[in-house]
Amino acid sequence: MAVNGSGRTQSSPPPEGIYVPVATFFAAEGSSNYNKTSPPLDLETQTRHSLFLVEGGIKGLVILGSTGEAIFLKPRERNELISSQRKALDDAGYKDRPIIAGTATQNIDETLEMIKESKEAGAEYAMVLSPGYFASSTSQTGIQKWFEAVADEAVLPVLIYHYPGVTNNLYIAPSTFEKLAAHPNIVGTKLSHGIIDDQTLIAASPRIDHEKFYVFTGLGQNLLPVLAIGGVAAIDGLAGVFPRLVVRLFNMFNETLSKGLTKKDISEMRDLQFSICEGEKLVARWGVVGVKEACARVWGMGSRTGGRLPLAGGFEDGEAEWSKWSKTFDELKNIEEKFKKEGKEG
């Protein structure tokens, strides 16, 4: 790391690759330690899922993001979750797979405390959700100063988490990203929206040093176009169910950059993107509830009803709802298993 002109050491972005915003697994209804108000963590399933992901080529884990139901966890549980998965990855020989810890608070001091505790628990990066409580009254200058205040004191490199869907539609303009990208401790962003022109204005901006600031799409359904405009990869929910599918598209795109692009390559990448888009419809409709439902039904991993209120219980009409998705997910499972047999990822 180099020393920036501000005097602060220039932080490095996380390694390029596909990351997963992992679901947090809780004890299922009917289990011996189940509590309907606050079911305990199911760390056994959590570890099984983490290893399933990295064995499928996932570069690292985002723990305690929106998919991780971070707002429902107590500080002790946050630290236990991070430390258990850091140990599980290290013990399995995956010390090179970073953990990015999410924060979702409005208060700067509380955000900094979470980042500090996350580092102590084993995280290497912090993904900081924008403060959206007063979204209608917040200026772009206010957003900039809030993130700069966090990044100035944060003990981990910061990625900006821009997700209007959970922040009262708070908008961060591309011009604001250009200013924030110059901060030596802000190393990238996860853009969880489909505004492709804004994504282009950030990922392709000549006023951003893209060696120091990485743009990740939060939507796997946008992966191929975002790679084409200068984004580095995705932090994607569907990859939590079918890691090899999403990793394969990422790898194919980067392989074509070195060997040269052919019409066959374009056709294969379009087919993969199409398959990903079909699966992402479930994630877009049901979020973490859909991810957990799919993990349980496709791989027997976790419980379809293992959440915390108000998300506990899974689909309201489970079998009828899953019947709308089962054909698509059976096809995606076949593709995933085919890629596993080929052994190119992992």
Q: Which is nearest to 275 in space by CA: 189, 335, 186?
A: 335
Does residue 301 sit in helix, strand or coil? Answer: coil
Q: Taking the model in full, what pTM does it have? A: 0.94
What tokens does 308 get?
């915390």
* Measured distance CA(262)–CA(176) in Å, rounded: 37
Residue range 10-19, pLDDT digits in tens = 999 999 999 9
Q: How far apart are the first and last CA of the chain?
A: 28
pLDDT band at 252; cut points 50, 70, 90: very high
Cα-to-chain-centroid distance, residue 129: 12
Taking a C-beta distance cutoff of 8 angstroms, is the pair 223, 269 a contact? no
Structural domains of the chain, with CATH:
19-342 (3.20.20.70)
pLDDT of residue 6: 54
pLDDT of residue 3: 47
Residue range 160-206, pLDDT digits in tens = 999 999 999 999 999 999 999 999 999 999 999 989 999 999 999 99
Alpha carbon distances (Å) from 125 to 226, 237, 263:
22, 19, 38
Statement: residue 23 has pLDDT above 60: yes
Which positions are catalytic? 161, 190
More confident site: 122 or 257: 122
The DSSP 8-state label assigned to residue 192 in this structure reads -
pLDDT of residue 29: 76
Q: Which is nearest to 115 in space by CA: 168, 63, 50, 190?
A: 63
pLDDT of residue 312: 80
